[in-house]
Structure 1
Amino acid sequence: MFKRLAWLALLACAPLYGADDATLSQLARAPYWLALGHYTPSKVHGWRSYVDDASFFLAADGAHHPERELRATLAALYAPPEQAGQHAQCRYPARARWLEAQLHLTDLPHVQCDEFTQWYKAIAPYSTVLVFPAAYLNSPSSMFGHTLLRIDQAETRTDGTALLSYAINFGAYVQGSDNSVLYAWKGLAGGYPGLFSLVPYQQKLSEYRNLENRDLWEYHLNLTPAETARMVEHVWELRQVRFDYYFFDENCSYRLLELLQIARPGLQLTEQFPLTAIPTDTVKAVQAAGLVDRTDYRPSRERELLARAAPLSTAEQRLAERLAGDTTQLHASAVQALPADRRALVEDTAYRLERYHATGQERDPLRAQRSFELLRAMNVNPPPPLQLERPDRPEDGHPSRTWSAGVGSRDGRAFGEYGLRMAYHDLADNAYGFPLGAQIEILGLKLRQYEGNRWQLQRLDLANIRSLTPRSTLLTPLSWQVGGGLERVPGRHAEPTLATHLNGGAGSSWALGGGTLAYALGTARIEHNNDFAAFASPAVGFDTGLLWRNRLGNLTAEAKGDYFANGEVRRRLALGQQWELSPNLGLRLTAARDFSHLGQARNEVMLEARWYHY
């Protein structure tokens, strides 16, 4: 506090170091200075900073007054070079460099910044790569994917040493062991601080590609060495500086867009995301800004395993599974009788399966020995190089926000339906760039207008998530779903009633070939319904269906039922086909028949247009 008062006292002297008030006021409104302070227009008036840490600011009210923060910074740059590591020239190298250039400051005191110099030299920034780990449905914070920045040295591209680079990451700082539900809630409400970190890229690569089995996309940006250096200098300023973290807007992707605007002043990336910043949408924005030179792809261990096993028969895959657990089978007649090329594929598949199961586990000497034996066999009889087809690029998929408008009929009563979904994909949407069987819907609203201008809330989905990962001979993942919100269900008096519900389910999915996926899940549901005597009524049931990716788009067929403890039985048959008119426009036709013990069966058909954007 004493230092702040001293600097403010220096500010009382005018003109300040050759800069008049008008010049300083103009600089304080410069987009680059506002970017350095992470300022945004306040909802009332003036400014506010996204930074929620008083230690970041030199002026007492610097979080809301860019000009006062600029003046305090300028005064601090001229402070005596005592405690050099804490001097403003060392603490704020990006601010110092910019102010020195803008005001032609030639008389700044010489300050030795050893800690910053060593840190910067170790990173040796030269070029920047935007990294996108694909969506990971089993983690609430990673359902939409993630973004981080890799900082490469000058020789990285030529000698292939990207694993030695550093990664700039922004994420929620979680203390303790919050469960997934609490983690998701606090992430939505800003209950965690967000921090920047600079870690070895190899560490993040292992986390995303191996531990979580996520594909990685690397977008090499055309930032110059000077632009990359400017960004890294600002990352030094943000060490241990707290931001409020929100999953949907002030998240990893939004913060990294801010860094890119530091690197190249004049970019307008963050203003495209006033409500939400879904990682895939931010990647599209970076692409649209002309920042991407080339794109590299790193498949996950799981994808490599499945690709290697794909040419094998079921019997050969089972043989590989046995080999992974018992390498004495290498000398068994079933293995030795195979042609050399088939045996090489089986041994490579067994090795990849063994390493896949070892992921995240403590080192096991027996497992390490099995891996060694398999590697030795592969050295004697080498497998061919793995030819892996690159999947659709995630940034080429449809945008995250969806508007819909449709017309339909329910038991002869015409209606119009209007919807908005904030994020981000369902099973029938255009699947290009999305894994088949993955559904993430957050904050979906549907309103209906019946004849006579009678409006009705049809449904309000807080979340509707499905992970229908197909089983195979080698891998048997669990398929699951969870959802909750408000929806119209069959009621006692011909009219559907609005019920509050929470549901979930688990089961299995199977790939049938030709872009077809079948699934069967057991479900549980709890519902608050005014037609029921109890406040909350539980039910168990089933949800089965078929998803077919065809030339027109996606076809879905589903049969599900709920059997309530109070005797109510509710069943539904549904069929739908979406036509993909363009990447951002679809036309969907659906038909459904509802059965309920509370009333007679009801039929419904609807045709709706769907527009995707962000």
Structure 2
Amino acid sequence: MPIRLLALLIGSLCITTSFAAPNIPTEHQHQLASQRFWLSLGHYAPGKLGGWRSYVNDTEFFLADNGDKSPLAELKATLSGLYADPALGDDHPQCRYPARTRWLRKQLTLENLPEPACTEYQTWYNDIDPHSTVLVFPDAYLNSPSSMFGHTLLRIDTPDTKDNGTTLLSYALNFGAMVDSMDNGILYAWRGLAGGYPGQFSLLPYRDKISEYSHLENRDLWEYHLNLTPAETQRMIEHVWELRQIRFDYYFFDENCSFRLLELLEIARPTLRLTEQFPLTAIPVDTVRAVREAGLITEVQYRPSRERELLERFELLSGPELDWVQLLAEDSNHLDADTFLNQPTERQALIQEAAYRWTRYQASGLERDPANAQRSLALLQAINRNPAPAQPAQMPTLPEQGHDSRTWHLGLGSHAHQHFAEYGLRMAYHDLIDNQAGFPLGAQIELGKLRVRQYEGNHWQLEELGLINIRSLTPRNRLLKPWSWQVAAGMERIPTDNDRRRLASYLSGGGGFTWQPFSNTSSYLLATLRTEYNPDTAAALNLASGFDAGVLWRNPLGNLHLNATADYFHHGEVRRRLALGQQWELGHNLGLRLSAEREFSHFSTPQNSLTLQLRWYHY
């Protein structure tokens, strides 16, 4: 029996006749328990075998023993609890469930409720002082499995936030997994997929989230102001109090941060139908798109990451000027060098500001270094004497204006003179040459990829079953030198003897560098390792090292990718591949892709493939 229910029963022994619960007709109770708002308050969803189940995975949330499966039982227990002895104070059900209390009071015109002193709740609520709501979308962060698709949270503003410019003092409402700090990245990803972590809501200062996302993880932030009224925002925050320290199951792809926040928005405005749009997955950018389509967004503000601001400053400088940036960041005494002072004043200003930003960027996440702090102070003083002109950040395409996350494709082609039709599905969500708007060039995240071919003679064949394929190809420059990397796993057709192609399982990864020789063009070179299960070889499990090199070109039609790979296996096989792909962007959610490929292997003669695909992006 939940502790709160035990306290309620003990307290009910002291109820006076003036606090007696009304006799609500059974039919009316059934009607109340089936109303959408009551179901939303309990986070109920239809059970797979009928009935109801709550997403809440915590008995402390329910007053009834079977409250997680029976909205009616929880309604009855709540009605009884509202009339408990007010001496229970902060443990009184009215204090614990302010959103339930308000709704039932209105639905049943309850005039004789006891009035417990909810001191803890009132202090918490007054500190937040909720008035308006902002949906915040931190962009994707490929180096974290839980943030590969971005993230969403809510910012709760006070009545005077906008007038006083005190956004950083607002509270951020976040839902996230409670992760064991000892878990490595692979275990973290697996447990997140399988629901191995509990999830909880948390409220913390917005400035802390900005520091985490924009400064430490270098993620752009998009702030979507919502048209929720003060009363709607307040109703949502009342329910957030009910969810304090309450655990949910957490899954990366459906019951995640974004899905939970959509539930809160439906509490704020019960007429919304947001969660119904995500029966399988709830990718953050898709939920932002759903919020926009629901007409909730009134204004968008863009908060660039520290890295993006730095890169934009670097783009204003020539090669020799970037050398000065590095010199000043390493030794501020160069500010007084004649060779620096002889440059035009406006160029000095740009160099100084870039050097200051570079110094602060390098110090992100590190303990305070007195020498670094002294250099930063000297550069800041120089900037005050000779300030650079304001350089407002250029707002990229809004994330939700990119293509939808699920992809279907229909293709026609030939392989080794055999013609085929190809049918494909990708659950999520972008590759290197997909329609580009809203996505950075050189970023790829593919999950759940399926390709099936129908050859002449009605011969069907599974061509590929991709579990995961991630690439992060970030260009290097004179000062920023990030690594590029990739990882992939799944099953695909490989050449074997007698020109046959067999389905083999594989796990591969690699690391290296990316450069940007020209605008809208990137080239990369990665060293790779591959593990492959192939029963046709003497050792079924085979290891290979190799390389992956290519060029990406953003052109007037779309994206072009030229790619060359080679794998050198321990048993002597050498496998090489040369591929070219061009995507024509026919529309927001429509693309036409031409792919040409040539494979070389010791086991077969060189084989050519040519495919034309019509790609439809759809959730």
TM range (shorter): over 0.9
Cα pair 1:8 1:72 within 8 Å, conserved:
no
1:455-466 paired onto structure 2 within 5 Å: 455-466=460-471
One of 526, 543, 552 as aligned partner of 1:547? 552
Cα pair 2:145 2:185 within 8 Å, conserved:
yes
Could you say which residue in structure 1 is the equivalent of 2:100? 95
**Aligned residue identity for 2:77:** A
Could you say which residue in structure 1 is the equivalent of 2:367? 362
Could you say which residue in structure 2 is the equivalent of 1:482? 487
Q: Deviations over 1:312-337 (max 9, x none)?
A: 11111011012111111111233112
**2:445 match: secondary structure:** strand
Q: What CA distance in whole angstroms lies between the structure 1 residues aligned with 2:435 and 2:323?
A: 35
Cα pair 1:221 1:292 within 8 Å, conserved:
yes
Q: What CA distance in whole angstroms lies between the structure 2 residues aligned with 1:568 and 1:82?
A: 80
**1:400 match: secondary structure:** coil
One of 103, 110, 117 as aligned partner of 1:112? 117
**Aligned residue identity for 1:4:** L
Q: What CA distance in whole angstroms lies between the structure 2 residues aligned with 1:86 and 1:249?
A: 33
Q: What CA distance in whole angstroms lies between the structure 2 residues aligned with 1:257 and 1:556?
A: 37
One of 438, 445, 462 as aligned partner of 1:440? 445
User: 1:3, CA displacement in angstroms?
Assistant: 6.3
One of 206, 216, 224 as aligned partner of 2:211? 206
Could you say which residue in structure 2 is the equivalent of 1:186? 191
Could you say which residue in structure 2 is the equivalent of 1:125? 130
Cα pair 2:533 2:541 within 8 Å, conserved:
yes
Q: Deviations over 1:491-523 (max 9, x none)?
A: 112121111111011111112333111111111
Q: What CA distance in whole angstroms lies between the structure 1 residues aligned with 2:556 and 2:100?
A: 55
Q: What CA distance in whole angstroms lies between the structure 2 residues aligned with 1:300 and 1:592?
A: 38
Cα pair 1:136 1:145 within 8 Å, conserved:
yes
Q: What CA distance in whole angstroms lies between the structure 1 residues aligned with 2:498 and 2:96?
A: 70
Q: Deviations over 1:330-373 (max 9, x none)?
A: 11233112111001111100000000011000111111111100
1:140 is aligned to 2:141:
no
Q: What CA distance in whole angstroms lies between the structure 2 residues aligned with 1:223 and 1:474?
A: 44
1:132-531 paired onto structure 2 within 5 Å: 132-531=137-536
Q: What CA distance in whole angstroms lies between the structure 1 residues aligned with 2:4 and 2:548?
A: 66
Cα pair 1:89 1:96 within 8 Å, conserved:
yes
Cα pair 1:7 1:72 within 8 Å, conserved:
no
Q: What CA distance in whole angstroms lies between the structure 2 residues aligned with 1:79 and 1:420?
A: 56
**1:391 match: secondary structure:** coil
Q: Deviations over 1:232-263 (max 9, x none)?
A: 01010000100010000000000000000000
**1:472 match: secondary structure:** coil
**Aligned residue identity for 1:471:** R
Specify whether residues 69 and 379 from structure 1 end up closer, same or farther in structure 2 by C-alpha distance, changes over 3 A only: same
Q: What CA distance in whole angstroms lies between the structure 2 residues aligned with 1:90 and 1:171?
A: 25
**Aligned residue identity for 1:197:** S
Could you say which residue in structure 1 is the equivalent of 2:59? 54
Q: What CA distance in whole angstroms lies between the structure 2 residues aligned with 1:233 and 1:240?
A: 14
Uncovered stretches (5+) of structure 2, i.e. residues with no partner:
none
Q: Deviations over 1:10-34 (max 9, x none)?
A: 8xx9x95142111111010000000
**Aligned residue identity for 1:55:** E
Q: What CA distance in whole angstroms lies between the structure 2 residues aligned with 1:386 and 1:178?
A: 42
User: 1:8, CA displacement in angstroms?
Assistant: 8.3
**Aligned residue identity for 2:597:** A
1:602 is aligned to 2:607:
yes
Question: Stretches of 4+ moved more than 6 A in 1?
Answer: 5-10
Q: What CA distance in whole angstroms lies between the structure 2 residues aligned with 1:579 and 1:8?
A: 68
Q: Deviations over 1:552-605 (max 9, x none)?
A: 111111111101111000000111111111111111110100000111000000
Q: What CA distance in whole angstroms lies between the structure 1 residues aligned with 2:313 and 2:411?
A: 45
**2:188 match: secondary structure:** helix
1:31 is aligned to 2:36:
yes
Uncovered stretches (5+) of structure 1, i.e. residues with no partner:
none
Structure 1 length normalisation: TM-score? 0.98
1:577-592 paired onto structure 2 within 5 Å: 577-592=582-597
Q: How many residues align?
A: 612
**2:499 match: secondary structure:** coil
Q: What CA distance in whole angstroms lies between the structure 2 residues aligned with 1:122 and 1:43?
A: 41
Q: What CA distance in whole angstroms lies between the structure 2 residues aligned with 1:108 and 1:432?
A: 56
Q: What CA distance in whole angstroms lies between the structure 1 residues aligned with 2:91 and 2:400?
A: 42
Q: What CA distance in whole angstroms lies between the structure 1 residues aligned with 2:188 and 2:564?
A: 33
**2:87 match: secondary structure:** coil
Cα RMSD of the aligned pairs, angstroms, is 1.5
Q: What CA distance in whole angstroms lies between the structure 1 residues aligned with 2:222 and 2:518?
A: 26
User: 1:6, CA displacement in angstroms?
Assistant: 8.7
Q: Deviations over 1:353-395 (max 9, x none)?
A: 0000110001111111111000011111111112321111101
**2:86 match: secondary structure:** coil
Q: What CA distance in whole angstroms lies between the structure 2 residues aligned with 1:409 and 1:36?
A: 55
1:73 is aligned to 2:74:
no
Specify whether residues 561 and 121 from structure 1 end up closer, same or farther in structure 2 by C-alpha distance, changes over 3 A only: same
Could you say which residue in structure 1 is the equivalent of 2:5? 4
Cα pair 1:309 1:345 within 8 Å, conserved:
no
User: 1:4, CA displacement in angstroms?
Assistant: 3.4
User: 1:456, CA displacement in angstroms?
Assistant: 1.0
